[in-house]
Amino acid sequence: MKMSTRTLLLLASLCVILGCGDDTPTGSNGPVNEDTFAITIGGDANESAFAMAATQDDAIVIAGERSISVSVPYGLLIKVDFAGNVLWEKVFDAYGRQRFFDVAVADNGDIVAVGTADQDFYIVRVSPSGAVVWEKVINEGGGDEAAAIATTSDGGFVIAGTVIAALTDFDNHLIRINGNGDTTWSRSYNQSQTDASFDVSATSDGGFVVTSQSGNFSGGATQFHIFKVNSAGDEVWSRVFGDPWTVFPSAMSILPDDRIVISGSSGVSGGTSRSVHILELESSGDARNEFRAGVPADQFVGGLVLTPDNNIIVAGTVGQNGDDVFLTKVTLAGTVVWDRFYGGPTKDVANDIIMIDDRLFICGTSEAIGATGSDVYLIRTDTEGQI
């Protein structure tokens, strides 16, 4: 998250903060069949996909950005069917620089996307047809950015992000809202002077687990910081893992018994490349297993899914320049089952993965397969990662 593009933009936009709508579908490019495909979706502008979710009406919503220039991005939502056909597309441009970094589906089928709008937390709820239900811009007093969203048992949402007060003062931040977008509580948390949230998931006891990066961002000495809060936002436990080098805790999933599986990218001090890094934690936050996996090349993780056979499939990008998309299936014991690679002659990036029945869907960004500039990259494979 190249890092995935999503991770790079999360951190890059933080640096921008510090000083360091057209609804017409653009269509898809590439062959589409009923089983598997790799296509691009986009037009003359540059489009990127950072996250996606399965909807209740047998479709997929993709969240990301569209920009005419790098300095002026707009929020982008695209709804596609399982064959990759665009059903609708909506651009959000009312607040200047806007991006969506994550998306969730509400109990009634509405779609809720989160990201940033002109250095503030940005939250949008739309109907299944794409009609805006409400928009919220929340200023927490610094440079604010929402990275992830999870649904709550009462029909609301919890949003994880980062608040920046100064160049060396980053805080993890959680906001809990109800279904109307009204704030229930808002809290900041920190492990070190610089902390940035990446993902959030709900647990069966009504609490929330957050993954973050903690340490010296400018010097490259960072670690995984994982913490849990209760339903009121009070911290329950906090843990730090990994060698103090550059790490990115990209994605997380909660098992039925509340064990926590986290995937990210990490290296070792003095190293020149990163590999897939997996953490399995007990519900108490104590480590159950920790290992690295993948091919001997620079790998940046975008997302993970848990499979019905209790294994993990990790999606991401291999190569320092974002050369290809990879999938790696690995057991919770750390044994690699298979590796798959996709992409064209230029940059291809994977930022998220979901499993729907016996199909895997991967989204990201591509500059190949007939794309003009950069386009949304959507891949559909079978459960073995084959196209």
Residue 287: other Cβ atoms inside 10 A: 12
Burial 248-270 (b: 16+ CB within 10 A, else e): bbbbbbbeeebbbbbbbbbbeee
CA quadruple 34, 39, 44, 45: dihedral sign: positive
- DSSP helix/strand/coil, 13: helix
- Which of 348, 238, 349 has the alpha carbon at shortest distance from 301? 349
Q: What is the pLDDT, as a whole number, of residue 372?
A: 58
Q: Regarding the domain with residue range 5-380, which homologous superfamily does it belong to in the CATH classification? A: YVTN repeat-like/Quinoprotein amine dehydrogenase (2.130.10.10)
Which ranges in the chain belong to alpha helices (H)?
5-18
64's enclosing H/E stretch is strand 59-69
The answer to whether the beta carbons of residues 224 and 262 sit under 8 Å apart is yes
CA pair distance 30, 36, nearest whole angstrom: 12
Residue 342: other Cβ atoms inside 10 A: 21
Task: Go through the chain and tell me how many residues it has.
Answer: 387
Q: What is the pLDDT of residues 141-182, one digit of tens each?
A: 777 899 999 999 999 999 999 988 755 667 899 999 999 999
Give me the phi and psi of 172, to 5 degrees please: -65, 145
Q: What is the pLDDT of residues 45-84, one digit of tens each?
A: 899 999 999 999 999 999 999 997 767 899 999 999 999 9
CA pair distance 329, 161, nearest whole angstrom: 29
Q: What is the pLDDT, as a whole number, of residue 91?
A: 96
Q: Which residues pair with 300 in a beta bridge?
A: 317
CA pair distance 172, 142, nearest whole angstrom: 12
Q: What is the pLDDT, as a whole number, of residue 10?
A: 47
Tokens of 86: 């665009």
The answer to whether the beta carbons of residues 198 and 10 sit under 8 Å apart is yes
Q: What share of the chain is helix, strand, coil (3-state, %, to 5)?
A: 5, 60, 35
CA pair distance 100, 65, nearest whole angstrom: 6
CA pair distance 352, 261, nearest whole angstrom: 15
State the Rg of the chain over Cα: 19
CA quadruple 228, 120, 304, 128: dihedral sign: positive
Predicted TM-score (pTM) of the model is 0.89
Angle value at C-alpha 98, between 81 and 193, nearest 5 degrees: 115
pLDDT < 50: residue spans in the chain: 1-26, 31-32
